[in-house]
Amino acid sequence: MKTKISSDLLNLIRKNDSFLIVGHVNPEGDSIGSSLAFALGLKKFGKKYVHVVSKDPVPENLNFLPSSRMIQHKIPKKKYDVAILIDCNHIERTGFKELNAGRTAVIDHHVLPENAGSSDFYTSLSASFIDPDAAAAGLLVYKVLSALKITFDRNMATNLYTALLVDTGGFRYSNATPEALKVASEMVESGAAPWDISKELYENNPYGAMKLQGLSLSTLEKKDGIAWITVTRAMFRKTGTGAEDCEEFVDLPRKIKDIEVAIFFRQDGNRSYKVSFRSKGKANVQKIARIFGGGGHVAAAGCMVKGNLKEVQTKVFRAVRKALKENKK
């Protein structure tokens, strides 16, 4: 059953004038593309005060997106009527403590935390449009803008096509549904140029990012249907790169034959690692990520785990092996 757009969300947009659009930390194509498309759509709808904020920088390969320069990295002092979280469902994922808005709404496709019903943040939301079955947040933004009868121009289409392309892995993943492909086709008809976008995303990597990938691949290991790679802070320093340069690294070990779960360990602090999971279908990695306070989707999820690398890997491998074992029963 498809999730319907609430009238509360549409009325919130129609009846207010100033909007703050916020994505998640370490943004990728869906977060940036969806946020920009939504901002451009609101402006086209006649809203004068629309600002997009991202705590972290826009990845270099996404700077080509129309209006990417409008993205700020600090919450403006202005008091907004509405703050809308896109591609994330909690203020903690934005990296900001406060959003400086009278009302808050969420447009997202991630599974809600188990304690959502008792969370002050969720109970205080003015509106939400959350559909974990959606291929990308961009698909939900498309539906909201369509419900408002906003016509898609080339710039909006480029941003939304990028959002769909990135979150479906170039339309290779299981979430590349007929609906996602249909909307992508409509975006092409509205002016998005598939080759130009793919070239910017996949054939325009910074030299340092490629060096970092080589260092990370040198750590590649596999065992018991699991393959993993690692990036340390020393690697970042050596290549002059940052977290935004390795967002897609987790997909590399997933390409190995006979691997069911791919894992990417990215050092975040002296005793802290960002752990990303990808599954080929035999393990629900969203459930694994939840064990460590994270979340995501059935086939793609992530979390933060405290400890040195050996401690973190021991905890994570134990959880993944248990999930794979339970799936065989």
pLDDT in tens, 248-272: 899 999 999 999 999 999 999 899 9
- What is the distance between the alpha carbons of residues 328 and 190, in angstroms, rounded to a whole number? 46
> What pLDDT, on a 0 to 100 scale, did the predictor assign at position 115?
66
Homologous superfamily (CATH) for 7-201: inorganic pyrophosphatase (n-terminal core) (3.90.1640.10)
Span 231-244, average pLDDT = 95
Span 16-25, average pLDDT = 96
Mean of the per-residue pLDDT values for the chain?
94
User: Which region among 45-49, 65-69, 84-88, 118-122 has the lowest average model confidence (pLDDT)?
Assistant: 118-122
> What pLDDT, on a 0 to 100 scale, did the predictor assign at position 282?
87
> What pLDDT, on a 0 to 100 scale, did the predictor assign at position 1?
44
> What pLDDT, on a 0 to 100 scale, did the predictor assign at position 164?
98
**Three-point CA angle 233, 291, 225, nearest 5°:** 75
Q: Which CATH code is given to the segment(s) 208-328?
A: 3.10.310.30
Percent of the chain surpassing pLDDT 90: 84
- Under the banding of pLDDT at 50, 70 and 90, the label for residue 291 is very high
Percent of the chain surpassing pLDDT 70: 98
Task: List the domain boundaries for the chain.
Answer: 7-201, 208-328
pTM: 0.88
Q: Which residues, 6+ apart, have CB-to-CB distance to 178 below 8 Å?
A: none
Residues in the chain: 329
Q: 3-state class of 192 per DSSP?
A: coil
Closest CA to 8 of 110, 176, 125: 125
Same topology, domains 7-201 and 208-328? Answer is no
What are 165-176's pLDDT values in tens digits?
A: 999 999 998 899
Which two structure tokens, joined as six digits, stand for 122? Answer: 């969720």
Q: Which residues, 6+ apart, have CB-to-CB distance to 216 below 8 Å?
A: 229, 230, 231, 235, 246, 249, 252
Cβ 93 vs Cβ 24: under 8 Å: yes
> What pLDDT, on a 0 to 100 scale, did the predictor assign at position 207?
94
CA-based torsion, 114, 291, 87, 144: positive or negative: negative
What are 84-96's pLDDT values in tens digits?
A: 999 999 899 999 9
